[in-house]
Amino acid sequence: MIQPNVGKAKRGSAMKIVIVGAGAMGTLFGGRLARAGHQVVFVDTDNARIGAIAQQGVFENGVAALCEAALPGTLEGVADLLILFTKSLHTALAMKANAAALKPDGLVLTLQNGLGNGEAIAEVVGASRVLVGITNWPADLLDHGRIHVDGAGIVKLWSLTGEDSPALHTVSDALSDAGLSATAEPSVQQAIWEKVIFNAALNGIAALTGMAVGQIGDFGPVRELAMRIVTEGVVVAEAAGVTVEPDKVGASVEFAMEHHRGHKPSMLQDVEAGRPTEVDAIQGGLLKAAIQWGVAAPALETCAALLRGLDHRAAITRKC
């Protein structure tokens, strides 16, 4: 039996929030925002997922939230906020299909991994309506509308244009009030780049070798490759004019090798399941910037080419 959502939006009025991408992260954010008193509608291309959510709501570690669900392109002029939580390879398509769901002054938030998501969304709705950021909340999808969350995380967000606004703080407050520990952070680009460098190093090597994070740390040649990718990523960021803290990124990779030993990064999970990876936004995103700013990044280039090879092989297998 699903209990009605008990929360009442604490600060400001309740928002109508459309979550595009009802996977692990969309379910986490949408479920918590619904329980905090917002009206949440999930949109996904997976009909079975939408049907299950419409019927049962969503569940985080067994705790239910009531939500609505709709197929892409069926909502018009309803959303104060649209949160895009597809994988980055679907960002442009998902945004184009669902832009009409926004109210005229509605905002779009992306906390997806990789570079270029905010810019792809801005091409559809205009840069002034886009909020960008990162999250390290961990969520695993168990079944349609059902996730397991082991641990806690944070959210950092700011506008894509760099400008401050009351609406940006309203969104940050709503996420915090829903228990998602959000901060409005003017230096959000630093956080986005530090996360993409971390992901380029560990996710890519895990996907290519089949190794969990601890195994990468234990084996010298791949550990050194991970640290070389971090060094290249930092050089690319600096060339692009983004300040990152090299020691902090290196230390977070080493911390993961020591303390998240059994973790299988999402890119490895994608390869094992025969799904396309986020290589274009992660390693490919850094590589694009390296080319744009005239910086050599041979380790990143090699990893990106090999990952694209894996994606290509998986695509051929899916067609057979």
Residues that bind ligand NAD (CB under 6 A): 20-26, 43-46, 49, 72, 85-88, 90, 93-94, 97, 112-113, 135, 138-139, 141, 266, 278
Q: Give least dist CB 133 to ligand NAD, A.
A: 10
DSSP state of 25: H
Q: Give least dist CB 7 to ligand NAD, A.
A: 22
- Closer Cβ to ligand NAD, 138 or 217, answer by number: 138
Strand ranges, E, within the chain: 16-20, 39-43, 58-60, 63-65, 68-70, 79-84, 102-110, 130-135, 140-143, 146-148, 155-159, 182-184
Q: Give least dist CB 150 to ligand NAD, A.
A: 10
- Closer Cβ to ligand NAD, 85 or 158, answer by number: 85
- Closer Cβ to ligand NAD, 37 or 133, answer by number: 133
- Closer Cβ to ligand NAD, 44 or 311, answer by number: 44
Phi and psi at 211, nearest 5°, equal -90, 145
- CA nearest neighbour of 21 among 50, 60, 59, 48: 50
Q: Give least dist CB 89 to ligand NAD, A.
A: 8
Number of helices followed by number of strands (H, E) in the chain: 12, 12
- Closer Cβ to ligand NAD, 261 or 264, answer by number: 264
Q: Give least dist CB 293 to ligand NAD, A.
A: 24
Q: Give least dist CB 46 to ligand NAD, A.
A: 4
- Closer Cβ to ligand NAD, 235 or 281, answer by number: 281
Q: Which residue is nearest to ligand NAD (CB)?
A: 23
Could you give the CA distance from residue 58 to residue 45 in angstroms, rounded to a whole number?
17
Bridge partners of 65, per DSSP, are 58
**274's tokens:** 């025969």
**149's tokens:** 């969350």
Cα 109 to Cα 117, 217, 225, 287, 315, distances in angstroms: 10, 34, 33, 24, 30
- Closer Cβ to ligand NAD, 116 or 250, answer by number: 116
CA angle 256, 282, 130 (to 5 degrees): 110
Residues 92 and 110: beta-carbon distance below 8 Å = no
Q: Give least dist CB 105 to ligand NAD, A.
A: 23
